[in-house]
Structure 1
Amino acid sequence: MVAAAGLRLPLQDYLLADHELRELDRARVVLIDRCMRGFGFSYPVRHPTADLGPRSPTERRYGITDASDAAAHGYGLGDRDPARQKPPEKPDLDADAQTVLFGKGRSSVKGRPVPEGGCVTQADRSLGAGAPAGTDPGLAQQLSFQSFDLSRADSRVRRATRAWSACMAGHGYDYADPLAPLGDPALSGATSPRAVATATTDIRCKKATNLVGIWFAVESAYQRRLIDDHHDRLTGLKQANTARLRTAARLT
């Protein structure tokens, strides 16, 4: 096993997908703009519509895993690289508009009371209105970080990592960890023959050692254990996500 984009870790059932996050973001902007217009302001925020970054949460979780990407872009993301995109322009807001947006400063503007926390917080309250009380929106992500750290330190993954490192060393590349090449300044930026050669060797060594298959299996086991340990809280989070998406769908 090498290509990881299609793999699905157990905790992903409790995490919002990229398209769902974009849907919530669009709905949030609609609510903020509606609130701002009540004070005579607008909130003209434009969001990118293209899919940027890795194709899935698992595609680069264990380092580069797509052979065609490695051959074409080295460790880069090609057209999916967010750094290549023009950042959205920030709205030009005067002091009164910023007070309304963030709720900091005066308690009223143009004779109208500013919502507690401003239009931003009011939008978040509206999106979460149907969610169960006491839900921790960051729980699944926190557990996902925990499972990654646990699996990375697991003896089975460490053994596979050492095998991958030895394979890389046999081809003249000195990396102790499969995530290290992704952060190597010598391989970042524009695609270079060196980056392509390193990335394609990286893929071959992952295939030879089954690093991705081992790591994914080990982390999946840790995640299933964490889900059992936090079952009730994760169930509440899943219900909260469903409620927020239902609200967003009515707005967008």
Structure 2
Amino acid sequence: MRRHHPARAAAAAAAVLLLLGGCGPAAGAPGGASSEAAPGRSGRAEPLAPAREPSAAETRLLERAEQILISRCMDGRGFPYAVTEAPDTGARTFPYGVDDVEWARAHGYGGRDERTAARAREADPNQRYFRGLSASGRAAARTALMGSAPVGLSATAPTGMTITASPEGCIADAERTLYGDLATWFRVKVVTMNLRPLRETRVHEDRRYADAVGQWAACMRAAGRPYAGPDASRQAAARFGESMQPAEADAAEAELAVIEATCASGTPLARVSKALDHTYGEQLRARHQEEIALRWRLQNGALPTARQACEEHGSEQHGSEREDQTPHSRPSGGSHA
């Protein structure tokens, strides 16, 4: 099956991509290592040290640097683009059914968290700017950000889907600045970002998971909630908002989520799903260890450039603040953060 999708930018750019009509693959959990040679920034094969997984702080640094580079590029093409970060709503995903009773009591199925995230997207300065553009202006901004068409870069995900993107536009320009070999970066990113959905699909298709869901469903029926599986109970919770006020819907959602989590932890479902998720995750990491290790190497190699970009951006911000405090000063020509 062949489908075309532009590549996903850093997390903070996701809302703008959605507004402009683009979408990207889901993120996946990397793992594994390799010690083979890989293309460097010059395009030549260069021997590299064993891969090291970037820390969470280093990953955030790379994401912020990409936003800064996108902002500079968009500014050069005549479009303001704010450097933002995705808000932390505390949301969690439970692909095999909610199994944390305390989290369910506080968050339900995450409906309130999603409303908070939606409000944050609405308030995002890039969202507001692009919404205010005319149709032709939005098309021009999309081209500046993502290129004229999602062709030129192509990679096959572990799911079998072919994903394409443009080597033009400010997202591609930022990634090329950070990682050098854009085609290689795109390929390993597509592979590693799609390991998680494939892992979850395999768990759902496993007979052991289906058997555990059957026992969970019996528990739910005994509790007066006759749902065949976690997806059905989640869909039922999503309908609460159609006939209830938000506070009432949140309470009903939390009540159902607690029952679901109690049944998940009181039957084999939580234990079996975690074990299967680990098993299939290890299998996929072993199969794709070269792509995972190469992604880590490219990320580690990009860290000096990312640090420099963030430091320069910080200096520009401080400089702009000082100029703003000076009467009759000229506006700074820095980024639009």
Shorter-chain TM range is: 0.7 to 0.9
Which structure would you say has the larger RCO, counting Cα contacts within 8 Å and 6 or more residues apart? 1
2:175 is aligned, of 91, 103, 124, to: 124
Taking the aligned partners of 2:190 and 2:66, their CA distance within structure 1 comes to: 18
How far off is 1:209 after superposition? 0.5
In the alignment, structure 1 residue 82 sits paired with structure 2 residue 82 = no
Displacement after TM superposition at 1:167 (Å): 0.4
Matched-pair contact (CA < 8 Å) for 1:128–1:244: yes
Would you say 1:157 and 2:194 are equivalent positions?
no
Contact 1:164 1:205 in 2 (8 A): yes
The alignment status of 1:13 with 2:25, answered yes or no, reads no
- Which of 203, 228, 233 is 1:181 aligned to? 233
The answer to whether the 8 A contact 2:91-2:110 is kept is: no
Conserved in 1, the CA contact under 8 Å of 2:31 and 2:292? no
Q: 8 Å contact 1:168–1:202 — kept in the other structure?
A: yes
Asked whether the equivalents of residues 69 and 77 of structure 1 are also in contact (C-alpha less than 8 Å), the reply is no
The correspondence of residues 43-62 of structure 1 with structure 2, limited to 5 A, is 43-48=80-85, 50-52=87-89, 54-55=91-92, 59-62=93-96
Q: How does 1:1-252 map to 2 (within 5 A)?
A: 11-13=29-31, 22-38=60-76, 41=78, 43-48=80-85, 50-52=87-89, 54-55=91-92, 59-76=93-110, 78-79=112-113, 81-87=116-122, 88-90=124-126, 91=129, 98=141, 100-102=144-146, 104=148, 117-129=168-180, 133=184, 135-184=187-236, 185-187=238-240, 190=246, 191-252=249-310
TM-score by length of 1: 0.73
Q: Which amino acid counterpart does residue 32 of structure 1 have in structure 2?
A: I
Offset at residue 200 of structure 1 (A): 1.2
| SS of 2:125 mapped into structure 1 | coil
Identical residues among aligned pairs (%):
26
Structure 1 residue 63 displacement after superposition: 2.4
Structure 2 runs not aligned, ≥5 long: 1-27, 33-52, 150-166, 311-337
CA contact (8 A) 1:187 1:195 kept: yes
RMSD of aligned alpha carbons: 3.5
Amino acid at match of 1:142: N
Cα distance in 2 for residues equivalent to 1:52 and 1:179: 22
Residue by residue, what CA displacement relative to the aligned partner does 1:49-83 show, whole Å, maximum 9, x if unpaired? 5312525xxx5232223323322342235457412
> Which segment drifts farther, 177-186 or 209-218?
177-186
Supply the distance in 2 between the matched residues of 1:181 and 1:157 (Cα, whole angstroms). 17
The range that moved more, 177-186 or 12-21, is: 12-21
| 146 and 102 in structure 1: CA distance in 2 versus 1, 3 angstrom threshold | closer
CA shift in 2, pair 1:77/1:19, >3 Å: farther
- Look up the equivalent residue of 1:251 and give its one-letter code: A
Cα pair distance change 1:133/1:50, threshold 3 Å: closer
Please list every run of 5 or more consecutive structure 1 residues that lacks an aligned counterpart in the other structure.
1-9, 106-115
AA of the residue aligned to 1:216? K
Distance 1:213 1:140 in 2: 26
TM-score, L = length of structure 2: 0.57
- Where does residue 112 of structure 1 map in the other structure? none
| Kept in 1: contact 2:105–2:258 (CA 8 A) | yes
For each residue in 1:167-186, what CA deviation from the matched residue of structure 2 results, as whole angstroms up to 9, or x when unmatched? 00111112222233233332
